[in-house]
Structure 1
Amino acid sequence: MITLNSIEKVYQTSTIETLALNNINIDIKKGEFVSIMGPSGCGKSTLLNIMGLLDEPTKGEILIDQKHVEQYTDKALALLRNQKIGFIFQSFHLINDLSVLDNVEIPLLYRNSSAQSRRDAAREALEKVGLSNRMKHFPNQLSGGQKQRVAIARAIVGKPDIILADEPTGNLDSAMGNEILNILLQLNAEGCTIVMVTHDESMAKKTHRLIRLFDGTQVY
């Protein structure tokens, strides 16, 4: 489903060159739930952004469903992201001026679908994460756990094959963090492939496989 071959990422300024990722080789199979762990600054989020086609590697190959994406145009990459990948961020990235329902609907605005079908899909996604009673609320009226559930609903509203979650429980207490993990485990049981960056070893152990990074390099 996601294959990374010999991935290298270098950030360069006029005065310094930083090697963020070095010779990363990963194959994520369809239906897997994989965790990525490592100390702060080791390249976890950079790796997730490259998997999600939000960032380009300096060197190496990316394959999605065995198709090379290096030659895709920006428009083709955006379409692939929208149709194939759902993103969940630690800081939620909700728009405070929009209702919960409107926030969840956002990914569908880039598809050629009717307003009614977008609304129906957003309602269905919110019901799936247990927030059907909060559709008309605004993000600043929600708890941290509720905001993250809205973010998950937004990630799944387009029925993506892949979910990339960057520290989805990082801003939550342990009880709410476990609730969020259980939602992700259920989505995975239903067939969604999930890659999750986490600092929580106990949560990582509940996933199928753990990839460790240290200073931008895989630890085997």
Structure 2
Amino acid sequence: MIHLKNIEKVYRTSSIETLALTNVNLHIGAGEFVSIMGPSGCGKSTLLNMMGLLDAPSSGQVEINGQTVTQYRDQELARLRNQHIGFIFQSFHLINDLSVLDNVEIPLLYRKGDETGSSRRQLAQLALERVGLSNRMKHFPGQLSGGQKQRVAIARAIVGRPSIILADEPTGNLDSGMGNEIMGILQQLNADGATIVMVTHDETMAKKTHRLVRLFDGSMVGDSTLMYNEQ
């Protein structure tokens, strides 16, 4: 599903060189729910960006669904992201001037397919129903709580029915109660077949996943199987 081989990422400026990732080898199979942990600045988000085709490695190889994408052009990467990958962010990234329903529909607008306006609207409604927000479709982000905003963000991530969901600190801005609700939704999406990779600082949330990958100073220092906890 996701295969990273000998990944290295170096950020360079005129005066400094920063090694963000070094010799990362990671395989994530279909249907796994993997958490990534490590101290701030260790390369967690950079690693997630590699999986999401938002950033390219300085060296090494990235495979998504059996396709080696390292040499893909920007247009090819954008199409692959849109068709196969859903993103969830800590800060929600909702557009305040659009309704909840319109926010969720956005990824479908970039697809070149047979979906009509009415079919896109129906898919957005179904995604919101799936996260328990069918009664908030006409609201705007400013009228929602943090937990509701994250539910909208999840609905937007899954509206295109991606096989991979990448979540960067999805519970980071929420209290423990709301965080557990969001984790429950992610667990259900995983049970329904989605492959999920989640960056988190929260050990409690990480223990609700199948597998824990630990990073330190850009290197993988741990990769352990967990006892999946659905509570």
Q: TM-score range by the shorter chain?
A: over 0.9
In the aligned structure 2, how far is the partner of 1:70 from the partner of 1:175?
40
SS of residue paired to 1:188: helix
In the aligned structure 2, how far is the partner of 1:9 from the partner of 1:89?
22
Q: Which runs of 5+ in 2 are unaligned?
A: 223-231
In the aligned structure 1, how far is the partner of 2:190 from the partner of 2:65?
18
In the aligned structure 2, how far is the partner of 1:66 from the partner of 1:121?
28
SS of residue paired to 1:140: helix
Aligned to 1:63: 63
Aligned to 2:106: 106
Aligned to 1:39: 39
The answer to whether residue 127 in structure 2 is matched with residue 125 in structure 1 is yes
Q: Which one of the candidate residues 156, 165, 168 is aligned to 1:166? A: 168
Q: What is the one-letter code of the residue matched to 1:128?
A: R
Q: What is the one-letter code of the residue matched to 2:9?
A: K
In the aligned structure 2, how far is the partner of 1:122 from the partner of 1:176?
22
Shift of 1:138: 0.4
Aligned to 2:187: 185
In the aligned structure 2, how far is the partner of 1:18 from the partner of 1:130?
43
In the aligned structure 1, how far is the partner of 2:126 from the partner of 2:28?
28
In the aligned structure 1, how far is the partner of 2:191 from the partner of 2:56?
30
In the aligned structure 2, how far is the partner of 1:144 from the partner of 1:192?
24
After TM superposition, the runs of 4+ consecutive aligned structure 1 residues lying more than 4 A away are none
RMSD, matched Cα? 0.6
Shift of 1:184: 0.1
Instruction: Map residues 69-218 of structure 1 onto 2, 5 A cutoff.
Output: 69-111=69-111, 112=113, 113-218=115-220
Q: If the length of structure 1 is used for normalisation, what is the TM-score?
A: 0.99
Larger relative contact order, structure 1 or 2 (CA cutoff 8 Å, min sep 6):
1
Shift of 1:136: 0.4
In the aligned structure 2, how far is the partner of 1:62 from the partner of 1:188?
23
Q: Which runs of 5+ in 1 are unaligned?
A: none
Shift of 1:72: 1.4
